[in-house]
C-alpha cells in the first residue's frame, strides 16, 4: 500500500472509532434521558393487605401515571423487614428497584446484630411519603381516664402496669418504651406475634395499655370498647380530634409515629433520584391521594430526598437511644 493509502486508512480507522464513541455517548445519553423506559418495582417488606402495602399501591399507581411506566409492587415480608431491605440494597442502582421503608429502617441497625447489609450506607433516600401518629389506648374498663393518671399510677406501682405490642422491636414496643422513659414510670412489656392478638387481650382487660396506629383500633374506640388517652404527635389526628396530644400533656419527648418513604440502593444517579422524587411529590399532592391517606389516619409529607435523609438520620439517633436504654434485643 502506498504511503498516501496508509494515511487514508489510518484516518478512516480513527474516524470510525470516533464515530463509534460518539454513537455510544449519544445512546447512553438517550438512555439516561429516557428514564424510565421499563417497569419500576417497589419492594414492600411486609405482607400484602397491610398499611404499608396499601400506601405503596396508592402512591405507586399515581407515580406510574406520571412516569408513563408500570409500577409493580413486590411483597417480600420477613425478618423484621430485613429480607426486603437487603433485596433493595443489593439490587442494581439504576432506579428500577425501590423499597417502601418504614420505622424499621431507623431501628433495625440497633436491633439486629447480624445483618448482611448496612441500612445507613447501602440505601439512599428518594422521598418521604407520610406518617400516622400512634395513640395510647386502654380498655374501656381501665380506671385511667387520662394519660397523667396512668403515669402517676405507674410511678407509684412500677410492677402493676403492662403493655402489649405486635412484637419485640415493633413500632408500638419502641413507642411505649419512649413513653416510659419520658414519663419515668414502670410497665412490663408483653410481646405478641402480631397486633390482632395483642388487641384482643387489651379488650379483655389483660393488658393495661398499648401504643398503636389509631386505624387499627378506631372501630373499638367508636364502639366504646377502648379509650384513647393521647395522640403521640405534635398535632391531633383527624380520626380522634378531641384526644389530647402528648405535647399538650407536657410529654413532647414521647412523640412517636409510623412513617413511610421510598428508598433505593446506593449509587442511583442523582438525576434519576430527582425524577423519582418529583413523581412521588406530584402523586402526594394529588387530592385523591391526600384524601385516601387521611382516611387511613395518615398525613402526606412531600419533600426533597435530602429532607427525607435528614429525617431518617434523626429517627435513627432517636430510636437507637431508646433501644440501647431499654436493652431491646431481637437476635
CA torsion angle for 229, 321, 265, 47 (degrees, to 10)? -40
**CATH top class, domain 135-254:** alpha beta
State the chain's mean pLDDT as an integer: 91
Residue 23 has pLDDT above 50, yes or no: no
Span 178-187, average pLDDT = 97
At 102, is the pLDDT very low, low, confident or very high (cuts 50, 70, 90)? very high
At 331, is the pLDDT very low, low, confident or very high (cuts 50, 70, 90)? low
CA torsion angle for 243, 245, 248, 253 (degrees, to 10)? 160
For the segment 273-317, what is each residue's pLDDT rounded down to a tens digit? 999 999 999 999 999 999 999 988 899 999 999 999 999 999 999
Span 6-26, average pLDDT = 48
Residues 6 or more apart from 107 whose CB is under 8 A from it? Answer: 169, 174, 316, 319, 320, 323
pTM metric for this prediction: 0.86
| Biggest CA pair distance of the chain | 106
Give 18-32 as a DSSP string. HHHHHHHHHHHHHHH
Length of the chain: 331
The CATH T-level fold of domain 40-131+258-326 is: D-Maltodextrin-Binding Protein; domain 2 (3.40.190)
For the segment 187-232, what is each residue's pLDDT rounded down to a tens digit? 999 999 989 999 999 999 999 999 999 989 999 999 999 999 999 9
Dump strand ranges (E) for 140-240. 162-165, 188-191, 209-212, 226-231
Say if CB 78 and CB 22 are below 8 A apart: no
Which of 29-43, 155-169, 312-326 has the weakest average pLDDT?
29-43
At 43, is the pLDDT very low, low, confident or very high (cuts 50, 70, 90)? very high
At 29, is the pLDDT very low, low, confident or very high (cuts 50, 70, 90)? very low
Residue 124 has pLDDT above 80, yes or no: yes
At 19, is the pLDDT very low, low, confident or very high (cuts 50, 70, 90)? very low
C-alpha cell at 327: 436493652
Residue 246 has pLDDT above 90, yes or no: yes
Say if CB 109 and CB 323 are below 8 A apart: no
CA gap 312, 113 in Å, rounded: 20
Amino acid at each position: 500500500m502506498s504511503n498516501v493509502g496508509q494515511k487514508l486508512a489510518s484516518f478512516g480507522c480513527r474516524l470510525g472509532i470516533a464515530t463509534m464513541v460518539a454513537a455510544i455517548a449519544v445512546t447512553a445519553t438517550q438512555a439516561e434521558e429516557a428514564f424510565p423506559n421499563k417497569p419500576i418495582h417497589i419492594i414492600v417488606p411486609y405482607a400484602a393487605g397491610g398499611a404499608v402495602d396499601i400506601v405503596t399501591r396508592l402512591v405507586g399507581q399515581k407515580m406510574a401515571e406520571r412516569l408513563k411506566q408500570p409500577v409493580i409492587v413486590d411483597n417480600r415480608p420477613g425478618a423484621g423487614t430485613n429480607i426486603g431491605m437487603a433485596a433493595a440494597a443489593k439490587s442494581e442502582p439504576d432506579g428500577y428497584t425501590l423499597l417502601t421503608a418504614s420505622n424499621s429502617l431507623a431501628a433495625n441497625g440497633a436491633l439486629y446484630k447480624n445483618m448482611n447489609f448496612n441500612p445507613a450506607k447501602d440505601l439512599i433516600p428518594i422521598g418521604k411519603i407520610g406518617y400516622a401518629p400512634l395513640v395510647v389506648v386502654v380498655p374501656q374498663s381501665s380506671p385511667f381516664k387520662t394519660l397523667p393518671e396512668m403515669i402517676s399510677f405507674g410511678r407509684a406501682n412500677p410492677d402493676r402496669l403492662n403493655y402489649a405490642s405486635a412484637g419485640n422491636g415493633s413500632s408500638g414496643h419502641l413507642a411505649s418504651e419512649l413513653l416510659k422513659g419520658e414519663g419515668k414510670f414502670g410497665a412490663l412489656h408483653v410481646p405478641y406475634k402480631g397486633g390482632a392478638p395483642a388487641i384482643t387481650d387489651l379488650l379483655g382487660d389483660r393488658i393495661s395499655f398499648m401504643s398503636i396506629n389509631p386505624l387499627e383500633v378506631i372501630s373499638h374506640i367508636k364502639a366504646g370498647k377502648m379509650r384513647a388517652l393521647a395522640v403521640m404527635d405534635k398535632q391531633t389526628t383527624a380520626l380522634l380530634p378531641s384526644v389530647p396530644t402528648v405535647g399538650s400533656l407536657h410529654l413532647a419527648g414521647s412523640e412517636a409515629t409510623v412513617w413511610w418513604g421510598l428508598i433505593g440502593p446506593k449509587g442511583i444517579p442523582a438525576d434519576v433520584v430527582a425524577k423519582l422524587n418529583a413523581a412521588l411529590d406530584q402523586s402526594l399532592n394529588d387530592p385523591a391521594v391526600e384524601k385516601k391517606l387521611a382516611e387511613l389516619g395518615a398525613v402526606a409529607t412531600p419533600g426533597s430526598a435530602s429532607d427525607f435523609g435528614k429525617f431518617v438520620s434523626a429517627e435513627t439517633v432517636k430510636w437507637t437511644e431508646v433501644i440501647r436504654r431499654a436493652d431491646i434485643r431481637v437476635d
